[in-house]
Structure 1
Amino acid sequence: MGNSCVTGASRSKSGGNLSSNVTLSSPEEQTTFKWTIDGFSSLLDKGEGCTYSSVFEIMGLKWYLKLNPSDKKTSEEKEYVSLRLELSRSSVKPDVIVEASFKLFIYDRSYGKHIEHKVNHTFQTASTSSGMSRMISLRKLKSPSSGFLVDNSCVFGVHIVKVVSSKANTTMETLFVQKMSIFNEAKTCTWDIDDFFAMKNPDYSPEFDVGGYKWCISMYPSRDGNHLSLFLHMKKPNDLPKDSAKLVELKLSIKDQENGNHLIRAGRFQASNNAPVWGWPKFISLEDFKDSSNGYLVKVKCCVEAVIAVAGSSKTD
């Protein structure tokens, strides 16, 4: 939890004592945690940094409070005392979401006018902390008339109203990327088109084999009226085991038949049962493609080249 964590008893720079006491509600209830900090000024003397309570258990889960006694953003002059509830990572499994409703408190021991912040928060592995709640300004807390700081002691707390745990609606994927030395060798496939203007929309290249699977290139000579589109297709995606995919490295190019300045686009995608096609719907504008100075279309002929390698695989659980 970082080097700024302070628990138990410690000695301040000024020689004062700082102690932290915790109180849980009775075993029958086990819904409230109170945290008394005796020697609050000593905590302030320690400078910037947050202080954590000990771990406590409520409703079968392990929690702790995080206190920032001098919370101030860069653009602000005013300091606040901020508090938040955190759920111990050991209490959160990767496939579980914990939805909690709770109240954060700072207790007014003189007048009984406690400050409370109601919070609803969803805890999961990637986010085990609720947002920091600014409970009270530090100036107000330290005011002589304040009932929140009595004899250099103040009390914070949390009351957990409701906790609901549920399975995360999450799909997990593991991608296995092969080392270069064991890549399937990249294969170059050339599609010579004798008459661009006679093509269907779309039209398909002859099939070819890469990595034990059959593929083809598709071209839309005018998919939207303004652009030429190019895609790579896995011809029989049902040959792949269910919930698996192949990581494919792809370079598609339209050859410059005059000057050798080919137009190349490259990418890496996963071909699967439900996503067997990948490419560029706007590979090149028709204006640029038909511009004779670019060499892509010579009279009615053009040439498309694909360089393909199967570079890995993935498994979805």
Structure 2
Amino acid sequence: MANLLGDDMDEIARYVSDVPPAHYTVKIESFSLLAKNCVDRYESGEFEAGGYKWKLVVHPLGNKSKNGDDHISLYLAIAGTDSLQTNWEMFVIYRLFLLDQNNDNYLTVEDGKMKPRRFRGMKKEWGIDKYISLKEFNESSNGYLVDDTCVFGAEVFVCKENFKGGKGECLSMVKSPIIHKHIWKIDNFSKLDAECHESRIFNAGDQKWKLRVYPNGRGSCKGSHLSFFLALADPTTLHPATKIYAEVTLRLQDQEHSKHHSGKVSYWFTASNPEVGGLRFILLSKFRQPNMGFLLKDVCIVEAEVNVLGVANAFS
């Protein structure tokens, strides 16, 4: 039999055991058809060990991302983590098995020579990138593949659990953001009597938004400026730790000359800071001048371009 230790002998311990895996086995029939049908990764069903759920993961032609070419890659993955507490982690000793059907014993591999491995939110899978070479596996005299059938297994021993009370967040940047444009035509502008007028709600970047116009200004700019804002439609639905990063352009159309008065900003929207815009968006004296084209036949047109670039959420 060829040498089973391979190039990673300092990282793992390999031996033959007569004892079958205590926790789970996976029997694969017609193994060669996995590669023929482009199944480069197979995940077993869930099984329980140490009070947690796990899966066996097999790469029949090796995990290419881990330089497992010409080998079988075999891993243990934790499952059902959505039900665990925030910032969970556990230290695990595990063994991975491959049945020698000729001798009724098992090629047994222990990662790190019994060194516990830390499973956590950012590392849910541990295993052996080069569990066994395909040449060794396919050699019929070794008994690992008989009648195109093989059997893998796993044992899992949880040594230590740690559920931290600390908090955390995950920022997800948008790979291909889509710019959403919303146009709001406001009729009978001079007859608006409320301090603030809001547009209908619109969607952009999986969020709901609305525009706010203060015809006579807001706060310190009341009576001197038109104030204009983009706001989250219902910030109370956001988790306090959620942040939405967006690039926003607000415009007031010049209907006479096909131009516009605008401002652009990048902003982190949160439940406590749900809007961005300008108190001094435009002087009322300028806005009302007939030759400027901003207020034409008592109609003004405002618009917003919203480009959501990223969202940060608390770990759950």
TM tier relative to shorter chain: 0.3 to 0.5
TM-score of the superposed pair, with normalisation by structure 2: 0.43
Q: Greater relative contact order (Cα 8 A, min sep 6): structure 1 or 2? A: 2
TM-score by length of 1: 0.43
